[in-house]
Amino acid sequence: MLACVFEGKNEWQIREIPEPKPLPHEVLIRVKAAGICGTDIHILKGEYFQDFPIVAGHEFSGEVVEVGEKVTQFRLGDRVTADPNIFCDRCYYCKINKNNHCLNLQAVGVTRGGAFAELVPVPEKCVFPLSSRLTFEEGALAEPLACVVYGVERSGIRPGEKVLIFGAGPIGLLLATLFRASGASLVVMVDVSEKKLHLAKNLGADEVILADGREGEKIRKIAPQGFEIVVDATGIPAVMEREWEFVEPDGTFLLFGVAPRGSKISLDPYEVFRKDLHIIGSFAVKKTMQYSLNMLEGGKVEVKNLISATYPLREFGKALEDVLTNPDHLKVQIVF
Ligand SMILES: [Zn+2]
Ligand SMILES: [Zn+2]
């Protein structure tokens, strides 16, 4: 089958690789859509925990073409998507319900073959039915939305709270929509791209602010006391450093964007003490995939407008260029 193989640091090629056979508990999926995510770029740059060569791609949907002999919930032709995270269900953290910190964590498209290929085998316990109300492209956004559901859960938002989000990429926009659906009274988004902010406004952000060096003043004008929840969805340490000062007392600073490993930010610990601040992270997906699908199927979160371009697998290079060089790109997908 045809696959895009990451051969080494910043090296990839489209080539034929052997067709995978599903193990007894696995479902073999013919990939229909697979999104390119920041994590894939980290993998390609050798900044993530994986070995080369690897077929990346962990946000996907497709059709079941073969099932292992122990599979009971899926049949040929089923439309499906998947949670790429494979928990061992045996280790210390799995036993105390911290599965996303599983000591033996495997992930489709990270530690094993992923969806930038025609076929991908996935353990049945990670496969989810995809409603016919959703397109495959929309279904491939269920995984990033599941990460966002987990982040919003962790923020502990209560009805009526105000939320400030830095970064209006696909993740920032998903966060905005979900915070609104979760009872936020005000959602403000900050970004450097006017185009993204325009979309943010259409998707339901109450206020959008262009990051032009004077954004601090504008933010304070909207909410002089600050925000209960401030979210970073940029992953840029220099930006993160300036965000936490907008958190109001007893509020939460959610670091959602993935910063480069080993990077540092400085913050005033006296202010953290004086303002009763909560600083939290959110790693991947923890059993939130079904909730993500519920939100998509129920029309509570619209993802169609988040897909800025689709490319066939053969044009992976063009797709990659779009992600790396077009400042207005949102979710870029490979379609089959
Ligand atoms: Zn991802
Ligand atoms: Zn485990």
Q: What is the pLDDT of residues 107-149, one digit of tens each?
A: 999 999 999 999 999 999 999 999 999 999 999 999 999 999 9
Using CA atoms of 171, 112, 60, 73 in order, give the dihedral in degrees to the nearest 10: -120
Residues 107 and 211 placed together within one structural domain of the fold: no
12 CA to middle of ligand 2, Å?
Answer: 31
Q: Which DSSP symbol is given to 330?
A: -
Residues 152 and 136 placed together within one structural domain of the fold: no
Residues 249 and 321 placed together within one structural domain of the fold: no
129 CA to middle of ligand 1, Å?
Answer: 19
Range 77-82 average pLDDT:
98
- Write the CATH number for 178: 3.40.50.720
- Write the CATH number for 124: 3.90.180.10
Token couple for 132: 């016919």
Using 50, 70 and 90 to split pLDDT, how confident is the model at 49?
A: low
Residues 66 and 135 placed together within one structural domain of the fold: yes
**DSSP codes, 219-245:** HHHH-TT-EEEEEE-S--HHHHHHHGG
- Whether 298 maps to a domain, the answer reads no
Token couple for 253: 């600073």
User: For the chain, how many structural domains are there in total?
Assistant: 2
291 CA to middle of ligand 2, Å?
Answer: 22
Unique residue bearing structure tokens 């090296």 = 11
Q: Which ligand is nearest to the CA of 101?
A: 2
274 CA to middle of ligand 1, Å?
Answer: 36
Summarize pLDDT for 249-261 with one digit per residue, the tens: 999 999 999 988 8
Residues 128 and 225 placed together within one structural domain of the fold: no
Residues 111 and 226 placed together within one structural domain of the fold: no
What domain range is 244 assigned to?
Answer: 148-281
Q: Which ligand is nearest to the CA of 92?
A: 2
- Whether 292 maps to a domain, the answer reads no
What HEC string does 160-217 produce? CCEEEEECCCHHHHHHHHHHHHCCCCEEEEEECCHHHHHHHHHCCCCEEEECCCCHHH
**Count of positions (residues) in the chain:** 336
Q: How many helices (H) and strands (E) does the chain have?
A: 11, 17
- Whether 239 maps to a domain, the answer reads yes
- Whether 290 maps to a domain, the answer reads no
Summarize pLDDT for 199-228 with one digit per residue, the tens: 999 988 999 999 999 999 999 999 999 999
- Whether 74 maps to a domain, the answer reads yes
Residues 136 and 230 placed together within one structural domain of the fold: no
